[in-house]
Amino acid sequence: MKTALSRWLSLIAFSLGSLGRRRGRSIATVVGLALVAMAFASVFALTDALRGEARRTVTTMPDITVSRMRAGRPATIAAFEAEQLRGVAGVGSIRPRVWGYLYLDVLSTNVVVVGLAPHQRRAVAAALVEGAVPTDAQRGWVVLGDAVGRAFGARVGDELELGRRAFRVAAIARPLTSVVTADVVAMDERDARGLLSLEEGEATDLAIHVFNPNEIGTAAARVAERMPGARVATREELSRVYELTYGARGGFVALSLLPALLALLVLAWDRLTGLSTDERREIAALKVVGWSTRDVLIVRAMEAALVAFAATVLGAIAAHVYVFVLGAPGLASALRGWSVLAPTIPLTPSGDGASVLSVVALTVVPWLAASVVPAWRAAVIEPAEGLR
């Protein structure tokens, strides 16, 4: 047992020494592979972080959302239709919501106009960084999301023109709520109806709360039976949409990195198959002193494995710093989506072992596979040929 262990330790020590003797080439190889590993690890880490933030955001949504469809597109729904759902088993509160999109020429983008009923204003107060939401029947005020506030350079008390009407900025949302409120402009429900051209008694959709979270799917099916032709979406379905969206974007960016990996593997193949005179002489000397072809093959494979391991560790550390410390500049826009009013998304690690395995599968495994044939060709060198 001790003999076998000491033998393996000797082989590892010799592999490290061999890499040290070719320090320049080893460092260049590790840096090249580490950059590729960092690129893949950054994509997977950012995708997992965005998915985690999306899952946390979905928890703030209604259990069931009901909207009318007309000509295949969402249409307004009559608020009185909520009464048809009062008797559905498992359904708790039903709230008609007033919201919609308003295009602003000055920003060249849409903002989300949200109408707040008097009983909803207290819940908004916790999301504010400054200012306060009027609790009386006052009109003509707005609460801005942090991205809208930054775009306008607005402060509490300023006047803001929306839809040819002047509004007073009553409050600005916290950056921590940017995922939900970045492009939101909240106001009194009556003002929102005027901007969105909604009549009294019209609503954008119905937000439904279900008593038992385990019965959301069953309650959604019952609601769909009561309201044929309506679109009934559960919170779980919306969560899957986010998962698929970020997964597709992450996969597309990862595929775009494959040419870089293939180029590195081709370069590695060329460098590993072209043994220098010193390397041939070294292998021949090892065989003369009693090393077998198997020992030489193991040493060459260990060198490739040590390079891959060091590169993967360095790439993972660099990816963590790039994504969670620097905020993934450039890459975040590609995965999050381009927008004039982009939210400030706090990136926190939320991945699992699958991401690590994906990086290993895309970098370490191809590297080791590309090293097998060069390692075998080096191991079968005859001593006389190498010494000559």
For 333-338, the CB contacts below 8 A with 24+ separation are 334/249, 334/253, 335/43, 335/46, 335/47, 335/50, 335/246, 335/249, 335/250, 335/253, 336/50, 337/249
Nearest to 195 by CA among 99, 110, 120: 99
CA 96: distance to chain centroid?
A: 32
Torsion sign across C-alpha atoms 210, 216, 219, 223: positive
**In Å, how far are 54, 147, 150, 210, 380 from 340, measured between CA atoms?**
20, 9, 11, 36, 61
DSSP string, 116-136: E-GGGHHHHGGGEEEE----S
Residues of the chain with pLDDT under 70: 1-11, 14-15, 18-20, 125-131, 264, 267-291, 337-340, 351-353, 373-388
Three-class SS state of 222: helix
> What is the per-residue pLDDT for 267?
66
d(CA 36, CA 193): 52
d(CA 205, CA 324): 37
> What is the per-residue pLDDT for 82?
80
For the chain, what are the domain ranges?
A: 14-57+244-387, 63-233
pLDDT digit string, tens, across residues 315-350 = 889 988 988 888 888 787 777 765 667 777 777 777
Tokens of 139: 């009109």
- Cβ proximity of 206 and 77 under 8 Å: yes
Look up the pTM and report it: 0.74
> What is the per-residue pLDDT for 314?
92
CA 349: distance to chain centroid?
A: 10
d(CA 292, CA 296): 7
